[in-house]
Amino acid sequence: MQNAFIELPWAVALILLPLAGAMGCFLFPRISRTLGLMTSFSIVVSVVGLGWQLLEHGSYRHAVGGWGAPLGIELVADGLSLLMLTTTAIVGFAISVYSTTYFKPALAVRFWPIWMCLLAALNALFLSADIFNLYVTLELLGLSAVALTALTGSKEALSGAMRYLLATLLASLAYLLGVALLYHSFGSVDIAVLAQQMQAASPYASGAIWAALGLMAAGLMLKSAVFPLHFWLPPAHGSAPAPVSALLSALVVKASFYILLRLWFTLFEPLVNGEAINTLLGLLGCAAILWGSVQALRQTRLKLLIAYSTVAQIGYLFLVFPLAASMGSIAWNGVAYLIISHALAKSAMFLSAGNLLCFGGHDRIADLDRVVQRLPLTAAAFALAGVSIMGLPPSGGFIGKWLLLEAAIIQGRWDLVAVMILGGLLAAAYIFKVIGHTFTQAPVTHEAQSVSASMQWSALLLAIGAMLLGFLSLPVLSLLNISDITATSGVGL
């Protein structure tokens, strides 16, 4: 019985279930809420199954339809993909619970099918092992994310979605041109095969390979919204409905960063090792931290503040590129930890912002009226998520930032240390700015609407999850070490 449970093709279920759920929600709009919630829960079960499989057998490969690489499509799961899938499943389930009561029926029938498509695209992306398949999943992800952004149909949301769509299409095309050049150079799109050939070809890399590296990196950086390519993020994330903003900030942005991380340290590792381009990415990360934090501090609307905070936190992720050169494993663990704790904390923040928006009918920070007394669960969720974003102990964000700081100190990169600490202080400033206003009475009071318990609790549980991550660092990091397709890489992942 137990063996039969383990041997089920969980990786396939992770893609097929949300796709079937999307069809179901589209065909039967009356029960779309129940269907969507059931699908989200089944994803959590499938991830547990896949995790069990990985712990038993090490990394996992599935040839779809019995056709293996190089001709067919393979699904591959290793420690990093399992971590991303788990984060997606947990955050996705919480957002599903939240959305059951957040959306009015007219919007709900549109929300559920697209959200299920987005979930399928995310899971497929984390399980892909070839660069062309990654392109297809990136496009699926981008299109469903844009459709979700435009959901409410307000002026701001439509313009934000349009800008987001143009940026994401441009980024995908740059990535696809990179894929074309790599396929021309090596005759394969499988990451493992390409990595081996790249190893051999790196001493005399041709212009086409460097061009492919540049195009793919530029496309993925535009999608990850690193400074100065973040122009599309605040309008899109700030104007979307709260659960959608949470999805975009917590998961969608991370997906393109995950691809960049994968390609950089498996495919392009021999090419970029010790090159100035790593320093450049680190500089962009530093600029993103400072610029995003200062902009966040200047915002008067809560959702825009959280969106700019995402820009800043993405900057931390890019510090892995200069740091991983010699301190591979510490910087790796740090960035992986930062990805998952930011996903939990930022979704909790956006969901509590959604609660405040429902409660008072606005999200102007200065007019938050004694929220602590009137909406204590939401205020607690926001504060706890804020602790993780600032990187204070004992939160998950603290562990991630501490590991990155440790790598920077060992390498003597005091400039990066200074930027990271300054970024933490600025984060504390913009979060306390919000928390301060939740205690005081606003000059204008608004008629308060009731906020349902499921919306309050899903935000709070996500925030508690971000805190709990601070105590679970050993088991989570041991998941990362499940052997993987990056075996050829010099980085001890």
Partner 1 sequence: MNPASFYALVGIGLFCLGLFGLIMNSHLLRKILAINIMGSGVFLVLVALAGRAENMPADPVPHAMVITGIVVAISATALALTLMLRVASETGHATLPDEVEK
Only segment of 32-40, 72-80, 93-101, 169-177 that touches partner 1 (CB under 8 A): 169-177
Nearer CB in complex with partner 1: 152/245: 152
Contact 46, 10 (CB under 8 A): yes
464 binds partner 1 (CB under 8 A): no
Residue 143 within binding range of partner 1, rule CB under 8 A: yes
Spatial contact of 346 and 323, defined as CB atoms under 8 Å apart: no
At its nearest, how many Å lie between partner 1 and the CB of residue 135? 8
- Residue 166 beta carbon to partner 1: minimum distance, rounded to whole angstroms: 6
Nearest-angstrom CA–CA distance, 493 and 464? 28
Q: Quick one: which of 41, 139, 270, 417 contacts partner 1 (CB under 8 A)?
A: 139
Q: How many binding residues for partner 1 (CB under 8 A)? A: 30
Part in contact with partner 1 (CB under 8 A); list of ranges 141-149, 191-199, 286-294, 377-385: 141-149
29 contacts 23 by C-beta, under 8 angstroms: no
For residues 187-206, which are near partner 1 according to CB under 8 A?
A: 187, 189
Q: Which helix (H) or strand (E) holds 157?
A: helix 155-186
Q: Is 203 helix (H, G, I), strand (E, B) or coil?
A: helix
Residue 193: HSE in the Cβ half-sphere, 13 Å Cα cutoff: 16
Check residue 163 for interaction with partner 1 (CB under 8 A).
yes
Those residues with Cβ within 8 angstroms of residue 98's Cβ, 6 or more apart along the chain or in another chain: 242, 243, 246, 351, 354, 454, 455, 458, 459
CB of 302 to partner 1, least distance (A): 21
In the complex with partner 1, the residue whose CB is nearer, 186 or 430, is 186
* Cβ 360 vs Cβ 448: under 8 Å: yes
Burial class (CB in 10 A: 0-12, 13-18, 19+), 17: buried
Among residues 170, 380, 417, 448, the one that binds partner 1 under rule CB under 8 A: 170
- Shortest Cβ distance from residue 236 to partner 1 (Å)? 12
Output 222 or 390, the one with its CB closest to partner 1. 222
Give yes or no for residue 153 binding partner 1 (CB under 8 A).
yes
Distance of CA 491 to the CA centre of its chain: 22
Please tell me the chain's helix, strand, coil percentages from 3-state DSSP, rounded to the nearest 5.
80, 5, 15
If the CB atoms of residues 92 and 142 are measured against partner 1, the closer one turns out to be: 142
Q: How far is CA 92 from the centre of its chain?
A: 11
Among 85, 129, 147, 405, the residue binding partner 1 under the rule CB under 8 A is 147
Please tell me whether residue 179 binds partner 1 under the rule CB under 8 A: yes
132 binding partner 1? (CB under 8 A) = yes
Euclidean distance between CA atoms 285 and 341, whole angstroms: 18
- Asked if 228 is part of the footprint of partner 1 (rule: CB under 8 A), the reply reads no
Is 161 a binding residue for partner 1 by CB under 8 A? The answer is yes
Binding residues for partner 1, rule: CB under 8 A, are 132, 136, 139, 143, 146-147, 150, 153-155, 158-159, 161-163, 165-166, 169-170, 172-173, 176-177, 179-181, 183-184, 187, 189
